[in-house]
Amino acid sequence: LVLVVDFGAQYAQLIARRVREAKVYSEIVPHTMPVEQMLAKNPKAIILSGGPSSVYEPGAPALDPGIFAAETPVFGICYGFQAMALALGGDVANTGKREYGRTDVGVSDPGVLLAGLPATLRSWMSHGDEVVRAPEGFRVTASSPRATVAAFEAPERGLAGVQWHPEVMHSEHGQRILEHFLVDIAGCRQTWTMVNIVDEQVERIREQVGDARVICALSGGVDSSVAAALVQRAIGDQLTCVFVDHGLLRKDEAAQVERDYVAATDVNLKVVDAADQFLGHLAGVTDPEEKRKIIGREFIRTFEAAEIEILQTPGTPVRFLVQGTLYPDVVESGGGEGAANIKSHHNVGGLPEDLQFSLIEPLRTLFKDEVRQVGEQLGLPPAMVWRHPFPGPGLAIRIVGAVDAERLRIVREADAIAREELTAAGLDRDVWQFPVVLLGDVRSVGVQGDGRTYGHPIVLRPVSSEDAMTADWSRLPFELLERISTRITNEVPEVNRVVLDVTSKPPGTIEWE
Ligand code: XMP
């Protein structure tokens, strides 16, 4: 176990992921956790993350020097590097020389941390202060134009640090630097793999559940599918999955769950076709939040009705509910300060408060990419494992205006074409998500054949992102956009115009509603 101490930067999760990519298990802890508690977890090493711009800022998180007393190896990154320098008797100065973005770091003396790397490393920096003197006994191994001490180490004491961010993609050889610390300085063994996780979880679930029965709401998304498959692997028919088909899914998705997923997992599946019910309640509703609330409410109602049926079937008691909670959700709900409720996400906000089940959350320690690997390990269809995120309220929030069967058909056809062409271009994994939105209340004039048309626009919203918190619009090749546009206007008669959304997030959200 490697602990990543979060000093409030968005980088802590990325560091934890990179450590796991090095096949070493990692967890994130807040900097407010007392050092004794951190050490009680018996970590093999500790990594101090980046954080606010200055260790001298009022209210800047302090580093308890006690962390170094235990002789656990410590690696400091950016703010963590400066806090470490200060705690061990070095000097940090606010020189006013700021360094942001791409910077060339010159390796003067590779030591252990930078061994075998080129003399110049293109690296990602983000700092205002700088370490002007390394602590006693430390070797300075690199510098940059604005930081004379950009890396230092005392490997015999298990200590090292860098001013830049080796965890970000833009830093050359960042992964190797992390591995040098983990393996060569801290002596970690690289044994964390997805095979281990599956075995470990299967064991744990069996122990937790005993002979009780378990239910799971399957959405067709990656997380719930993998969570359910894992639980199925552990306890077989003691698990019943409920799939509420709200009629707002994309083309063929419901069939895929019923057919391919069951074929791959042999899971006990109860499908509830509730499309008419949802459409009935959504009729005439145009306000986005209102749509979300209706869908959330109907979803819970439908699921509870199915649950009651299962409770009434003879057998051992039903005591557990499976949830596809991921590690970022756990971290964010633990340290979720100031996260404004921008939209009510129904699968987070709408759980009944008097939940009479215990939760099974087999993916609680995993990142999305690890969940995908577990899914592959469990033999799930690639189309499911690599599916883009899709919102719980489905296509209802991709129709601007009221939702009805006709509009659903239009957006579903257009979406299927866009996805098909993206896949054919081999770009599925280059975009995070590709919402296709129907402007239901907007019409524009067009001409097709010899006639005037008065149809609806379709908006293409391909985005790239790391975590959906921020996003940028994807620069898809013009030829691909052209093919999508031509096919949609040819094959979906109600649509006579296709437009591209070129807004980043912020200010736009990924979805239109
Ligand atoms: P926004 O539109 O807020 O979306 O930028 C961020 C990510 O969340 C997804 N999303 C949802 N997922 N239930 C979900 O499960 C919801 O109600 C919901 N609303 C948005 C969205 O698709 C994107 O990935």
Q: What is the pLDDT of residues 232-246, one digit of tens each?
A: 999 999 999 999 999
Ligand 1 pocket test target in 294, 344, 345, 474 with most atoms within 8 Å of CB? 345
Q: What is the pLDDT of residues 114-157, one digit of tens each?
A: 999 999 999 988 888 899 999 999 999 999 998 999 999 999 99
354 is in an annotated binding site: no
Q: Which atom of ligand 1 is nearest to the CA of 343?
A: 3
How far apart are the CA of 292 and the centre of ligand 1, in A? Answer: 11
> In sequence order, what are the residues at sequence separation of 6 or more whose Cβ sits closer than 8 angstroms to the Cβ of residue 130?
82, 92, 93, 95, 97, 146, 147, 148, 149, 163
Q: Is the CB of 391 under 6 A from ligand 1?
A: yes
pLDDT at 54: 80
**Helix/strand/coil (H, E, C) string of 463-498?**
EECCCCCCEEECCCCHHHHHHHHHHHHHHCCCEEEE
As for the ipTM of the complex, it is 0.98
Q: State the Cα–Cα distance between residues 171 and 277, nearest whole angstrom.
A: 52
194-385: CATH topology: Rossmann fold (3.40.50)
Summary mean pLDDT of the chain: 91
How far apart are the CA of 376 and the centre of ligand 1, in A? Answer: 24
pLDDT at 346: 32
DSSP string for 189-245: -----HHHHHHHHHHHHHHHHTT-EEEEEE-SSHHHHHHHHHHHHHHGGGEEEEEEE
Q: Is the CB of 511 under 6 A from ligand 1?
A: yes
To the question of domain 2-185 being in CATH 3.40.50.880, the answer is yes
Q: Is the CB of 468 under 6 A from ligand 1?
A: yes
Looking at per-residue confidence, does 42 or 450 come out higher? 42
Report the percentage of the chain scoring pLDDT > 90.
77
Q: Is the CB of 393 under 6 A from ligand 1?
A: yes
223 is in an annotated binding site: yes
Domain ranges of the chain: 2-185, 194-385, 404-500
Which amino acid residue places its CA nearest to atom 17 of ligand 1?
345
Q: What is the pLDDT of residues 212-237, one digit of tens each?
A: 999 999 998 999 999 999 999 999 99
224 is in an annotated binding site: yes
Residue whose pair of structure tokens reads 């719930």 in the numeric block: 224
Q: State the Cα–Cα distance between residues 174 and 257, nearest whole angstrom.
A: 39
pLDDT at 333: 65
Which amino acid residue places its CA nearest to atom 11 of ligand 1?
391
Q: Which range has the worst mean pLDDT, 57-61, 152-156, 345-349, 421-425?
A: 345-349
465 is in an annotated binding site: no
Q: In what order do the strands lie in the sheet with 268-273?
A: 268-273, 239-245, 213-218, 318-322, 358-360
Q: Which range has the worst mean pLDDT, 48-52, 201-205, 292-296, 320-324?
A: 48-52
**Mean pLDDT of the region 203-216:** 96
pLDDT at 99: 82
To the question of domain 404-500 being in CATH 3.30.300.10, the answer is yes
Contact yes or no for 504/473 (Cβ under 8 A): yes
How many residues does this entry show for the chain?
A: 513
- Please list the active-site residues: 78, 165, 167
Assess whether pLDDT exceeds 50 at residue 340.
no
Q: Is the CB of 505 under 6 A from ligand 1?
A: yes
Which amino acid residue places its CA nearest to atom 9 of ligand 1?
391
Q: Is the CB of 296 under 6 A from ligand 1?
A: no
Assess whether pLDDT exceeds 70 at residue 422.
yes
How far apart are the CA of 345 and the centre of ligand 1, in A? Answer: 7
Tell me what percent of the chain is helix, strand and coil, each rounded to the nearest 5.
Answer: 35, 25, 40
How far apart are the CA of 69 and the centre of ligand 1, in A? Answer: 45
How far apart are the CA of 509 and the centre of ligand 1, in A? Answer: 9
In sequence order, the β-bridge partners of residue 433 are 463
**Mean pLDDT of the region 244-255:** 95
pLDDT at 334: 57
Q: What is the pLDDT of residues 365-396, one digit of tens each?
A: 898 889 999 999 999 998 899 999 999 999 99
Ligand 1 pocket test target in 225, 244, 291, 343 with most atoms within 8 Å of CB? 343
Quick check: helix, strand or coil at residue 340?
A: coil
Tokens read off for 288: 């986005």
pLDDT at 344: 31
219 is in an annotated binding site: yes
Same topology between domain 194-385 and domain 404-500: no
